[in-house]
Amino acid sequence: MVKIESIGLFRMRNSEHHQFMSDLDAQIVKYSPTELGIESEHAEFSHSLGAVENAMRMELGSSKSKLIEQMDLLRDRTWNAINQKVMATLLSPIADEVASAEVIMRIIDSFGDIRGLSYNEESTDMDNLIITLMQRPNATHLQKIGITTWVAEMKKQNDDFQATFNERNDEYAGRESGDVRLTRKVIDPIYNRIVEKINASIVLGISKPSVETFVNGLNEKINYYKATIAIRDGKSKGKDKESTDTATPQN
């Protein structure tokens, strides 16, 4: 029994995500939404795909878009570094450090992983997270974990991001904001419903003969993007390790 495989859409770059969704739309049209049993879902999907494409065009239309993407990745990496440092400190042999890490970990967990939010949502949540972390009772905890300067740097990065993002919005005065990630949050659940509905029809044995061919083609694309993401993640981890090794004093 062949079913549509899973894939972490959030791990795709905007260009990859757009291409994947565009290819899927073309495949659905080719095999017919009626044959696949997803007429209403495809109507929603096509409408949302149009919104993604509009946002993509607006992103590409600003000279600041690339800079914004880079600044977003920078603050995401700093958030991740802080999160990883706190998690590592939970394993410290020093009881006071563990106690401090537990306090800070609860604060970070209360906000969740903010990296997948839309630009505006992430900026707001990061602001609130930083305000909470920098409250006077937490100063000692940050110092014991060794992230006082990291939190201050994350604040600077987030402030810089918001300033640049607002400058780009000024360029789009009178036009809809070109936040691609916001449109992705709309289309991704529709994609998931399409997958669930087609897979359910296969399990129940009510799918049309053409569904299997459609699924096989889609799985090929899914496996391609999985491989692409895995290669990219491997290179990223390699660079991080190289950077860590370089920064670590050798005895």
pTM: 0.52
pLDDT over 80 at 11, yes or no: yes
Does residue 156 belong to any structural domain of this protein?
yes
Domain boundary among 171, 187, 215: 171
Q: Which of the four pLDDT bands, split at 50, 70 and 90, describes residue 242? A: low
With vertex at residue 243, the alpha carbon angle to CA 7 and CA 236, rounded to the nearest 5 degrees, is 15
C-alpha span between 55 and 58 (Å, rounded): 5
**Mean pLDDT of all residues belonging to the chain:** 89
Q: Which residue has the higher pLDDT, 168 or 199?
A: 199
Q: Are residues 52 and 69 in the same domain?
A: no
C-alpha span between 202 and 57 (Å, rounded): 37
Q: Are residues 204 and 147 in the same domain?
A: no
Which of 164, 77, 158, 78 is closest to 122 using CA atoms?
Answer: 158
73-to-24, 76, 116, 119 alpha-carbon distances in Å: 27, 5, 11, 11
pLDDT over 70 at 122, yes or no: yes
pLDDT over 90 at 248, yes or no: no
pLDDT at 35: 95
Q: Which residue has the higher pLDDT, 124 or 233?
A: 124
Does residue 246 belong to any structural domain of this protein?
no
User: Mean pLDDT, to the nearest integer, of 98-127?
Assistant: 95
Does residue 149 belong to any structural domain of this protein?
yes
Q: Are residues 160 and 79 in the same domain?
A: yes
Does residue 1 belong to any structural domain of this protein?
no
- Domain containing residue 113: 65-171
What is the per-residue pLDDT across 147-198, written as a single tens digit (0 to 9) for each? Answer: 999 999 999 999 999 999 888 777 665 444 457 888 999 999 999 999 999 9
Is residue 36 a contact partner of residue 28, using CB atoms and an 8 Å limit?
Answer: yes
Which token pair is 58?
């607006």
What is the per-residue pLDDT across 23-69, written as a single tens digit (0 to 9) for each? Answer: 999 999 999 999 999 999 999 999 999 999 888 877 666 667 788 99
What is the per-residue pLDDT across 59-92, written as a single tens digit (0 to 9) for each? Answer: 666 667 788 999 999 999 999 999 999 999 999 9
Q: Are residues 54 and 69 in the same domain?
A: no
What is the per-residue pLDDT across 210-236, written as a single tens digit (0 to 9) for each? Answer: 999 999 999 999 999 999 999 888 765
pLDDT over 90 at 102, yes or no: yes
Does residue 210 belong to any structural domain of this protein?
yes
* Structural domains counted in the chain: 2
pLDDT at 194: 97
Domain boundary among 115, 142, 171: 171
Q: Which residue has the higher pLDDT, 167 or 242?
A: 167
Q: Are residues 124 and 194 in the same domain?
A: no
DSSP state of 93: S
Q: Are residues 162 and 206 in the same domain?
A: no
pLDDT at 174: 45
